[in-house]
A = this chain, B = another copy of it.
Amino acid sequence: MQAETAGRRRRGRGSGGAVRTTHYGQLTNPFQPQALLSGDEIAAIHATALRILAELGIKVLLPEARALLRAAGALVDPETLMVRIGADIVADALAAAPGSFVMRARDPGRDVAMAPGTLAFLSGAGCPGCSDRIRGRRPGSLADFRELTQLIETFDVLHMLTAVVEPQDSPMHRRHYDTMQVQLETSCKVPFVYARGQAQVEQSFEMLGLALGLGAGFADQPRCYTVINTNSPRQLDVPMAQGIMDFARAGQMAVITPFCLMGAMAPVTLAGAMCLQHAEALAGIVLAQLVRAGAPVMYGAFASNVDMKSGAPAFGTPEHVKASIVSGQLARHIGLPWRGSAGAASNTADAQGAHETELSMWGALLGGANLTIHAAGWLEGGLTLGYEKLITDLEMLQVMAELCVPVAGGEAERAFDAIAQIEPGGHFLGVDHTMARYRTAFYAPLLADLSNYGGWIEAGSMRADERATTVWQDRLAAFVLPPGAAEGLEPVRRYIADHIAAGGALPVS
């Protein structure tokens, strides 16, 4: 072992924040979905979930949802609000739910297919606050929401927009206008719509229809999405049930995601948490399909564990990774595209946070998740969206996206002639085979600093999270609207002005 340290020959500097043209638009997962449970065990979890729904039921707080489920044959207890859903109702819903569909963006180049083998990444979402090394940790604002949406726009490895941070300075009666306006003004990727009551949801659809120039006709395809979190265990609250119904009615995509923390809101065993997750997801899927057979839904999974000493939720744990892989097995068992979840408990963009997000991201990748949320930027279990964490995670996502590019294994790549040209102990730096390819041969890092130690010290011995500040600052400074983003928004702005003048629309909780 003499040659395995190659650092000595290093010189030069990292590539810093240079903006590079990438092509990570629609990815195909290069890995076979993995399995940690047998087919029989997966079938047993599915059967247990059906038993939970049929025998124990789920509490549904929205009267219209209960009525719809009762009409389909579910048993509803008007006192406890418990709804017991038979296996045949579930089977009908699973037969109706589409196994694949395409999320249509304003820019067709940003369309995202949800089908076996597709792969898409989303930033952290739903964070009440955000932080960066310049301005510190703070409650989310609309300005933050705009900046972060701009950053998301500039990275094609982030495939749709998210509710990246909660703009707490935007009053609740107008927050859906503000967030939709920013998303439409900033990006042509598929936008996110919060499910916070029928009025806000339908107005969001109307704004999107106006931006697309399609009016209500926008609903012929899924063009926006929401995330529905059941209130584990076994409860579906008013805005979530309403959201499922509103999105299904409009043919828009709902990601039905129980948030099952093993040992807290879910059983301490992985298989038990999976039974609960599966039952709750199935209940949501049933409700969507009862509203509109064929409504686009995703099976959502976000199961991790709490630390049993402190009760703190943990991410990137073995339990989290395993749950993602088993969730993929369950999603394939029912034939639906599915959403996985990365995440980090770390309070800063350090090695802990990097490992937590990457370990959980690999769980989603190996589970065959079609869409992974919180894949970049999550800190503190989602309380904060970190600007620097966003950048360090994006390097990881870009490497994963590069893995989706097939390896060329043809005769020219096998390079026999180049190998013949180079004498033993020589090098390939100047050979024609290298010269013809070197500019595009390798991934160019977004953030990684490959300087040797001396150069790194001279340049200020900056950690990755420190260098990341420059990357997001440069991206924001260089931000230009993508083609088409500014077009057709006048009707949206007029709509928003009129509605705010009329008092806006409060969320429902």
Contact = CB atoms under 8 A, between A and B. Distances in A.
Contact of A346 (B356, B384, B448): B448
A378 to B, nearest CB: 9
Contact of A355 (B11, B352, B396, B444): B396
Interface stretch (A176-184, A286-294, A460-468): A460-468
Given A359-B358, A427-B265, A449 B351 contact: no
Interface stretch (A100-108, A145-153, A207-215, A409-417): A409-417
Nearest to A228: B1
Nearest to A317: B443
A268 B408 CA distance: 12
A445 interface: yes
A268 B445 contact: no
A321 interface: yes
A454 B251 CA distance: 43
A443 B44 contact: no
B437 A352 contact: no
A59 to B, nearest CB: 4
Contacts of A137: 453
Which residue among A82, A316, A424 has the maximum number of chain B CB atoms within 10 Å of its CB?
A424
Copies of this chain present in the complex amount to 2
Given A10-B311, A12-B311, A352-B464, A265 B428 contact: yes
A55 B3 CA distance: 26
A21 B444 CA distance: 42
Contacts of A126: 1-2, 4-5
Interface in A254-286: 257, 259, 261-272, 275-276, 279
Contacts of A302: 4
B5 A383 contact: yes
A267 B428 contact: yes
7 contacts: A4-B373, A9-B313, A263-B429, A314-B445, A321-B399, A352-B395, A362-B362
Contacts of A503: none
A350 B350 CA distance: 6
Contact of A310 (B12, B353, B356): B12
A439 interface: yes
A263 B428 contact: yes
Contacts of A402: 318
A3 B270 CA distance: 20
A203 interface: no
Contact of A4 (B11, B257, B318, B351): B257
B317 A10 contact: no
B194 A1 contact: yes
